[in-house]
Amino acid sequence: MQPYYTEPGITIYHGDCREILPTLGKVDLVLTDPPYPLEFIECWSSLSLVCKSVLPEGGFCLAYSGQTHLPEVLSRMGEHLEYCWQLVLVHAGCNQAIHHRHVMCGYKPILVFSNGKPSFPDSGYFKDTLRGSGRSKSSHPWEQSASELHPIIEHYSSDAGTILDPFMGSGTTLRAAKDLGRKAIGIEIEERYCEIAVKRLKQEVLNI
């Protein structure tokens, strides 16, 4: 399949990741934010299977998740991967009201799974609590901040590695990868978000 967009080190594909990924090679890290509602729960099984095929032995998948369906998410991710840990992203600013659970939510889980026995990086220990930088929803309803991903990318991927986001959305993972000089591949099923991701990538690189 022809890419939707390319620039040095960065490639975007428009389509279903299950159809595109068999045409790609191995990647260093999968970093993504699948949809959280129950109607999309099958995405987590697809993600688990995708990671099994594209990650090297011991490679990591880190995925944002909601809390409501977390037990089912963990079960589906465990179909092909090994549970490693859970990072906690503490929200900046106001907490979010989860009305059906009567909870004021102040954090988001980032699940860490590995393809087989984890191969931990040489960069030492990683603190499992991250401070959020605030969310902008101008590009996508579930958009995360690119700067929040910088420490994750620096710890879990090498300078020469390639990062994959099979649920790219508006391109946050690719934007963060580019900021850090990493290679990245993004796949998005909705073309309008591919267009937004391209615009974000063309913005001036942040000073890190």
Q: How many domains does the chain have?
A: 1
- How large is the average pLDDT for residues 38-46? 96
Does a structural domain hold residue 34? yes
Please give the distance of CA 160 from its chain centroid, rounded to a whole number.
18
Under a CB-based contact definition with an 8 Å cutoff, are residues 174 and 187 in contact?
no
Containing structural domain, residue 166: 5-201
> Could you read off the pLDDT of 64-95 as tens digits, one per residue?
999 999 999 999 999 999 999 999 999 887 88
pLDDT of res. 91: 87
> Could you read off the pLDDT of 108-166 as tens digits, one per residue?
999 999 999 999 988 889 999 999 875 554 544 445 688 899 999 999 999 999 999 99
For residues 183 and 138, the model is more confident at: 183
Does a structural domain hold residue 64? yes
Q: What is the DSSP string of 10-70?
A: EEEEES-HHHHGGGS---SEEEE----SGGGTHHHHHHHHHHHHHSPTT-EEEEE--STTH
Strands (E), the chain: 5-7, 10-14, 29-32, 60-64, 82-90, 96-98, 103-105, 107-114, 129-131, 162-165, 183-188
The one-letter code for the residue type at 77 is M
**Tokens (6 digits) for 108:** 């988001």
**Tokens (6 digits) for 15:** 């389509």
Does a structural domain hold residue 65? yes
Q: Quote the CA–CA distance of 147 and 142 in Å, as a whole number.
A: 15
Neighbours of 179 (CB within 10 A): 17
% residues pLDDT > 90 (the chain): 80
Does a structural domain hold residue 170? yes
Does a structural domain hold residue 206? no
Q: 81: which strand partners? A: none
- Of 186, 99, 92, 98, nearest in space to 134 by CA: 92
Place of tokens 């620096």: 154
Does a structural domain hold residue 183? yes
% residues pLDDT > 70 (the chain): 93
Does a structural domain hold residue 133? yes
For residues 122 and 197, the model is more confident at: 197
Domain harbouring 183, CATH code? 3.40.50.150
Does a structural domain hold residue 144? yes
